[in-house]
Amino acid sequence: MGDFTHFNEHGRCHMVDVSEKSDTSRMAVAEGYVYVNSETFSLIRSGGVRKGDVLTVAQIAGIMGAKRTSDIIPMCHPLMLSGVNLELTLDEGKSAVRIEAVVRNRGSTGVEMEALTAVSVAALTVYDMCKAVQRDMRIGDIRLLHKEGGVHGVFHAE
């Protein structure tokens, strides 16, 4: 279990004690996509989805998801987030909604999970709002793009 920090010396899961870690500025960027057909893409773009403005509702849901990450991911610490920004854009070439989340805080643990959760919740919200039109949408390519702060420093995906 050497490198897995969420296991104790007996191999049992535990929440990592971060009380001795110093507070630093931290930031994480994550992205993901909801792949849709051309009809759904057009409805999202034109605002024709009956449930409302898909991109705005998903943006708000993603922000709420980031704030509630520790409620749904068992070993995550509750964090005081200093900022959450979600951008949802239409990628015509991929026939997809691209979701990018940037999460910031100053604390003793990072915000990667909050950024990934924000993207995931926003993607699920796009699905929920469009499922009456298309049930075979695909959510995918959710990943961490960038992170800064903490003992591991900067990470940037290739």
> 127: which residues sit within 8 A by CB, 6+ positions away?
34, 137, 139
**DSSP annotation string for 82-131:** EEEEEEEEEETTTTEEEEEEEEEEEESS--HHHHHHHHHHHHHHHHHHHT
Does 128 qualify as catalytic in the annotation?
yes
Of 53, 71, 91, 128, catalytic: 128
Determine the residue type at 17: D
Catalytic residues: 128
